[in-house]
Amino acid sequence: MTSVTPRTASLYRMPTAFGPHPGPRQRPGGGRWTDPDRGSTVMLSLTVRSDPARLAALLPAPFTLDGDHCTVVAAELRDLPWLAGRGYNVLSVSVPVVHRGRETVHGDLELVTWESLADPIISGREELGFNKVYADVGDLRTDSEAGTVSLSAAWDGFVFAQLSGRAFASPAPDTPPTAPRPGLHHRYVPAPGRWGDADAEEVTCTGFAAAPQTRVASVRTGQGAVAFRTATFEQLPTLHHIVNPLSELPVMGTPCATLTVTTGYADGYDVRVLA
């Protein structure tokens, strides 16, 4: 694990005229959120085997593919302290990669994350380098009789993603827990007026330092299904170039589904830029 250097300076985001900005990594008045009893997450994760050549074609230059699958995650985040108890929903797609620089890091590259609220999108893009965009990500719907969990995501009424899990059961008692992998993010900030140039283009990484306030309450595994729907420019004017390559990825076999419930709150304070 890499230790996180304590930050004592106030954190600012635009608009800066009004002083330090409260958010996921700063309380009103300064300091980190520390309440261990706040925050909960229900997460449906699907491991989807696909064509390695198609997956590799989605990677920015600093990365090479490190597997034959992608991971699609839908999550409900609730009772967040930085939102005064409110929450939001998330849909993300990542692939296993290797980043080789001054250090070699094996992790999961976040290709895209849709969120149902602007506030975490803005803070996550600017402070962490996450590739976040907006969508109407629905709640996880549980059908107790059918034993299924499902979710859909839409933009302006056009449903572009649907995923589900079924046949969930607790893993065998002797099943070793899956070791978490660092999250990798290709941060790109365009340069105003220098069209085509970047003020910043770098790789950020999260997950090197443990989040002690996050605790796993339950884990169940089963089978899943996922589909992205091909869209025209008119249907998804700002998202079709993201959704269509995902819709073209072949799904090989039945995706493995994992339903995880956690409590606590991880603030991403361990983020760092890879050399």
Mean pLDDT in runs of 10 for the chain (275 residues)? 51 94 93 89 97 96 94 97 97 97 93 98 96 98 92 98 95 74 95 95 82 81 97 98 98 96 90 90
pLDDT at 108: 97
Dihedral over Cα of 73, 177, 205, 260: its sign: positive
pLDDT at 175: 73
Residue 143, class by beta-carbon neighbours within 10 Å (0-12 exposed, 13-18 middle, 19+ buried)? Answer: exposed
What SS3 class is residue 217? strand
Give Cα separations from 74 to 141, 162, 192, 215 (angstroms): 11, 10, 34, 18
Is the CATH number 3.20.20.10 carried by domain 39-171+181-267?
Answer: no
CA distance 238 to 17: 30
pLDDT at 5: 43
Q: Which residues are paired to 99 by β-bridges?
A: 63, 105
CA 143 to chain centre: 25
pLDDT at 211: 55
pTM: 0.93
Domain ranges of the chain: 39-171+181-267
Residue carrying the six token digits 């995706």? 255
pLDDT at 208: 58
Residue 163, both tokens: 């995923």
